[in-house]
Structure 1
Amino acid sequence: MTMDAKPDAPRKSGRRLAREYAVQGIYQSLLSGNDAPAIDAHLSEDPGFSKVDRKLFRQLLNGALDNAETLRGHFSGLIDRKIDELSPVEHAILLVATYELAHMIETPYRVVINEAIELTKEFGGADGHKFVNGVLDKLAPVLRAVEVEAARNRPRG
């Protein structure tokens, strides 16, 4: 998994890059078992890391790794397969997005879901974004009940 941007791609915000690198770090952890400090040290050497919102990156990386079992508990009942059958990319994205939904209420749930979908489109399999969207659409009303209900009751127009 590489985080190289396409030459014609629009510039990404520091927050988007933080999510990308956090997903890459979780992916590394899932495959190699490396811990957060080792992952942080490795990723911070990447030239693109200089534009990352480092505070958000570390919060997502450490939060997802430190709370992985609890986070998996939130979404395991919403998926149609066992956790160990998830692709590492989808697994990493679900961990980061679930952490953000559960612990970072300052980020609107729709932003969390949209960011996860975009990351899955960029780094995941062909229809992985549909899977991630479906899981997070079911999870948001559980973890963000008040916010989701308010959005549903907001007048359209």
Structure 2
Amino acid sequence: MKRHDARQKALQVLFQLDSTDLPVEQAIEHVLEEQPSDAFLEQIVRGTVEQKEKIDATLSDKLENWTLNRLPKIERTVLRLAVYELLFMPETPNRVVLNEAIELCKVFGDEKSSKFVNGVLSKFTEQ
């Protein structure tokens, strides 16, 4: 599975986990629909779930005039996934993470999603 496809599936898994009490394994199985799993997919889903508190705290610091709970669910999920990669997967270039997050928003969000997510994530890459 290509990393882009794995990120799309991971977003679907995390989106599902945000509104259900399913175990991670079941959510992954449900999204994959009989497809074989992928190590990258498993890593980013489990990592995002395991580091959710730290990710949310870091995200909350970067949000201006928003709280995490007020964000639309798709933007919140994309941001969590991207911030996991930015904080815990330094081998992935920041530019790739931002581009992938923007693409996910274009596919799953509305016309404003990608601009909002880009604005928030750019604060993580400014030095």
Which TM-score applies when normalising by structure 1?
0.75
The percent identity for this pair of structures is 34
Letter in 1 for 2:78: I
Letter in 1 for 2:102: I
In the alignment, what sits opposite 2:70?
85
Question: Match of 1:32, SS?
Answer: coil
1:32 is the counterpart of 2:6: no
Supply the distance in 2 between the matched residues of 1:140 and 1:55 (Cα, whole angstroms): 26
Displacement after TM superposition at 1:31 (Å):
1.4
1:72 is the counterpart of 2:56: yes
Structure 2 regions of 5+ residues with no counterpart?
none
Supply the distance in 2 between the matched residues of 1:21 and 1:100 (Cα, whole angstroms): 15
Displacement after TM superposition at 1:110 (Å):
0.2
Aligned 8 A contact 2:62 2:120 in 1: yes
RMSD: 1.6
Runs of 4+ in 1 over 2 A off after TM superposition: none
Which TM-score applies when normalising by structure 2?
0.91
Give the number of the structure whose alpha-carbon radius of gyration is greater: 1
33-42 or 87-96, which deviates more: 33-42
Q: How many aligned residue pairs are there?
A: 126
Letter in 1 for 2:12: Q
Structure 1 regions of 5+ residues with no counterpart?
1-12, 146-157
In the alignment, what sits opposite 1:117?
102
In the alignment, what sits opposite 2:119?
134
